[in-house]
């Protein structure tokens, strides 16, 4: 910011340049991060679905409990509009998680597996964002030193 404040009447040009470079940085960041994030979320959706399926199949529950929970999970996904996260605990809660520790364990394992996948999906986008922040800091430091010299 200090570099954008010109000394001798060039304030308007300097401010325009500063705002322009900031907008350019934002646009470059969005162009780089948005496709990366979108592709990672698509992959994460598939992995989360496979992990959730494995949790249900491996749950220490009889088929008479697994089938209603699975059908309720399906209905929950159908109920929620695209882009929103369904309440994955609801089917378990409606099928006895409060009273049956095995149902509660299956619910908790499913929620943990899905959350872990979605959390990992954001890592490379965060790393790229951090890299842009470091580069912006270096550029700001370099231009700031040049402006004071």
Tens of pLDDT along 45-102? 888 888 888 999 999 999 999 999 999 998 988 898 877 888 999 999 999 999 999 9
Write out pLDDT tens, residues 89-135: 999 999 999 999 999 999 999 999 988 988 888 888 888 888 888 88
Give the chain's count of helices (H) and strands (E): 5, 0
What was the pLDDT predicted at 2?
Answer: 55
Instruction: State if pTM tops 0.85.
Output: no
Calpha distance 51→65 (Å, rounded): 19
Calpha distance 32→15 (Å, rounded): 26
Give alpha helix (H) positions in 7-100: 11-58, 63-79, 90-94
């Amino acid at each position: 910011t200090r570099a954008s404040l010109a000394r001798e009447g060039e304030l308007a040009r300097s401010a325009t340049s500063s705002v322009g470079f900031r907008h350019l940085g934002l646009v470059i960041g969005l162009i780089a991060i948005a496709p990366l994030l979108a592709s990672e979320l698509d992959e994460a959706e598939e992995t989360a679905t496979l992990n959730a399926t494995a949790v249900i199949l491996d749950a220490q529950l009889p088929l008479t409990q697994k089938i209603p929970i699975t059908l309720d999970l399906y209905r929950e996904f159908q109920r929620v509009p695209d882009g929103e996260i369904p309440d994955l605990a609801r089917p378990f809660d409606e099928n006895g998680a409060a009273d049956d520790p095995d149902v509660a364990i299956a619910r908790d394992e499913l929620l943990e597996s899905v959350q872990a996948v979605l959390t990992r999906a954001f890592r490379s986008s965060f790393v790229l964002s951090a890299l842009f922040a470091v580069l912006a800091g270096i550029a700001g430091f370099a231009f700031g030193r040049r402006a004071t010299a």
